[in-house]
Amino acid sequence: MDDAGKSDEMPEKVIFINRSAKVVKGGRRFSFSALVVVGDRQGRVGLGLGKSNEVADAIKKGGQSAKVAMLQVSLSGPTIPHEVYSHFGGAKVLLRPASPGTGLICGKTVRAVVECAGVRDVLSKSLGSKNAANVAKATQKALLKLRTRDAIFRARGIDSRLKKTVA
């Protein structure tokens, strides 16, 4: 019965797991934080950070946090509608649309985010910091900047078929 509920579950990818130690009288106490990305591969993607004393619990909390923080992204078929550049902290990310069949030409952090969003063809370059959390947030910020042609026409009050201003 539980298997039926898992079929509609969204893919969840662990981007980074960090182990931190607290020195106490008896030795070191370790705790873990997990950066997780969740998406439905239909244009919705979310990032979450979970912290716990166990790795599995940290991943579970990160997944729940990511599902709550999911945002809608504008896609144009299997790729993105236009080139976009974004930065978060010291991390800078450039995403460019690619022709069908190109695949995901990007690093592992950017790949995890765009794959969960549902992008199948994209070229990317990650510049500046290699901090996984900041690269993931810069990638999500870049995806949120995307706008389709129809959305831009609607925002400007133009009918996309006639290219005339709607009164």
User: Rounded to an integer, what distance in angstroms lies between the CA atom of residue 30 and that of residue 22?
Assistant: 6
Instruction: Assess contact for 87 and 145: CB atoms under 8 A.
Output: no
Quick one: tokens of 142? 């870049």
Query: In this structure, what DSSP letter does residue 118 have?
Result: T
Q: CATH number of 74-152: 3.30.230.10, 3.20.20.140, 3.30.1300.10, 3.90.1150.10? A: 3.30.230.10
In this prediction the pTM is 0.86
Domain 2-71 carries which CATH code? 3.30.160.20
| Cross-strand bridge partners of residue 104 | 122
User: Rounded to an integer, what distance in angstroms lies between the CA atom of residue 79 and that of residue 38?
Assistant: 18
Per-residue pLDDT of the chain in tens (167 residues, 90 and over written 9): 344 444 457 889 999 999 999 999 999 999 999 999 999 999 999 999 999 999 999 999 999 999 999 999 988 889 999 999 999 999 999 999 999 999 999 999 999 999 999 999 999 999 999 999 999 999 999 999 998 888 888 888 887 666 665 55
Per-domain boundaries in the chain: 2-71, 74-152
